Amino acid sequence: MHREQMDVNIDLLKKYDRPGPRYTSYPTAPYFHNGVDVNTYIQHLQNEDRNVAKKELSLYFHLPFCNTLCYYCGCNMLLNRNKNRVDQYIDYLEKEIKLLKSYLGNDRKVLQMHWGGGTPTHLSPQQIRRLGTIIKSHFEFLPEAEISVELDPRELTFDHMQALQEIGFNRGSMGVQDFDPQVQEAVNRIQPEDITRRAIDWARELGFVSMNIDLMYGLPFQNTKSYARTLEKIIDINPDRLAVFNYAHLPNLIKRQKLLKADTLPGPEEKLNLLKLSIETLTAAGYVYIGMDHFAKPQDELTLAMQNGTLYRNFQGYSTHSGLNLLAFGISSISMLSDLYVQNEKGLAPYFERLDAGQLPTMRGVEVSTEDQLRREVITELMCNFRLQKTDIESKYGISFDEHFADALKNLHVFEEDGLIVLETDRLTVTTAGRLLIRNIAMNFDAYLMQKSANQPQFSRTV
Ligand code: SF4
């Protein structure tokens, strides 16, 4: 149904380009606060566990270490050359797992796991095996579990991949950003094409069912001519999924980005051309635009989930499962229960201290009110499935949709006039052109953005 080449209207993108959230959570992370602490987390964990319809689990492990620094990086990462430091971190992950398990029943099974970072493959194969064994001795995995990992081809060996496969990893993702040598040098990420190809080949040989490649536009020296060559090579490598991210240059917030020379970055017009080129090239090559920077092959499970209306969005991006409890481990990681988000301490020292004191390292969070849950469902439906059945929301939450969202619907008329949505009595449908501006459409339902306070948080631009 969505298998089609997309044409991108740059004037429309320009009109709607403004800062906005990416909606990996609602309320979004800037609204997390210290009033939600470890006691709130334990209470909610135990409530979930008492629920008859207990949710299955999604586990996330944040492995923050990297060998070198990519100058565009916005992740919570730590430069490291000391393997003992990694062993120490794994010791603390084990403490965190044991503590958390003391608040959770033994009957909660794992349907998803993701290792992110940083660079999970900065761990040696032996450290990967050790962490895998620790996790598996505390959690029971369902046979159909989706287990995914972020790989860095630059440090990867076949032994790393075998260690991951032994634990059960069956999906992988790796950063490329751009194959152009001048761009790679400017961002301090030298990654020749052959090692990316080799990593994908190893994954396929070991039976990984879906492999993703991340690209980025808006980096130094990028232009449509050289980026077209990168896209051509990527299409030839033939990953199952692609994410094409907009580089957000926020040097005042992310100090390391000052290492990129501002005068080498493409201007706004060139960035839009790079975006247009990426979307048109990838959809012409048969990839389906999933939404929010993501593409997948027609037979990939993400595309199928989008077509079945079961796609979901969380901190790792798009997911094929909704309704799981997400339990996150490691510094800065974010957990999600039915009506709570909590984030761990961001630094190693406080994270270690809290665990040494026998406490979960919860730093802050937010409780999700019924109104938040309603708006989260509306935003998630739009972001994932590009449609909203008003009657479903009305019967689930006991509201009149048109009355409850009168302001949003008023604001949406301009989107309708621009051909981005179709408003009908019982539903709202996002058009193909509207899918590129889905963040802007969803922002109309965000009650926090509507509060015109002077302290509005800083978000990346929507286009
Ligand atoms: S490898 Fe990833 S996490 Fe590490 S510095 Fe580069 S972009 Fe950041």
| 192-210 confidence digits (pLDDT tens) | 999 999 999 999 999 999 9
Among residues 443, 426, 342, the alpha carbon closest in space to that of 389 is found at 426
Task: For the chain, give every domain's residue range.
Answer: 1-26+370-454, 27-327
Backbone CA torsion sign across 337, 343, 348, 349: negative
Is residue 119 lining ligand 1, measured as CB closer than 6 Å? yes
The predicted pLDDT at position 3 comes to 56
Contact of 216 with 244, CB cutoff 8 Å: yes
The pLDDT score that the predictor gives to residue 415 is: 96
> Considering the domain 1-26+370-454 in this protein, what is its CATH number?
1.10.10.920
Q: Residue 123: what are its φ and ψ, rounded to 5°?
A: -65, 145
Give 336: exposed, middle or buried? Use CB within 10 Å, 0-12, 13-18, 19+. buried
Q: Is the CB of 254 under 6 A from ligand 1?
A: no
| Residue range 265-286, pLDDT digits in tens | 999 889 999 999 999 999 999 9
Query: What are the beta bridge partners of residue 172?
Result: 149, 211
- Residue 363: exposure state from Cβ atoms within 10 A (0-12, 13-18, ≥19): buried
CA dist 389 and 28 (Å) reads 24
For residue 141, the number of C-alpha atoms closer than 13 Å in the C-beta half-sphere is 18
Q: How far is the CA of 213 from the centre of ligand 1 (A)?
A: 14
Dist CA 433 CA 437 (whole Å): 8
pTM value > 0.85: yes
- 27-327 is classed in which CATH architecture? Alpha-Beta Horseshoe (3.80)
Residues contacting 428, CB < 8 A, separation 6+: 382, 387, 388, 390, 412, 421, 422
Give residue 437 CA to ligand 1 midpoint distance, Å.
27
pLDDT at 43: 95
Ligand 1 centre distance from Cα of residue 265 (Å): 19
Is 21 a pocket residue for ligand 1 (Cβ < 6 Å)? no
Say what the pLDDT of residue 204 is.
96
β-strand pairing of 210-217 with 171-177: parallel
Q: Is 70 in the pocket of ligand 1 (CB under 6 A)?
A: yes
CA-closest candidate to residue 61, choices 110, 116, 123? 116
Ligand 1 atom closest to 118 (CA): 3
| Nearest ligand 1 atom to alpha carbon 189 | 6
Contacts of 47 (CB under 8 A, 6+ apart): none
Helix (H, G, I), strand (E, B) or coil at 431: coil
Q: What is the mean pLDDT of each run of 10 residues along the chain (463 residues)?
A: 73 87 91 96 91 85 97 93 95 98 90 96 98 97 96 96 97 96 97 96 96 96 96 96 93 93 92 93 95 92 88 80 91 95 97 98 97 95 92 95 96 95 95 91 93 62 67
174 lines ligand 1 (CB under 6 A): no
Q: What is the pLDDT of residue 452?
A: 60
Which of the 8 DSSP states describes residue 177? E
- For atom 2 of ligand 1, the residue with the nearest CA is 118
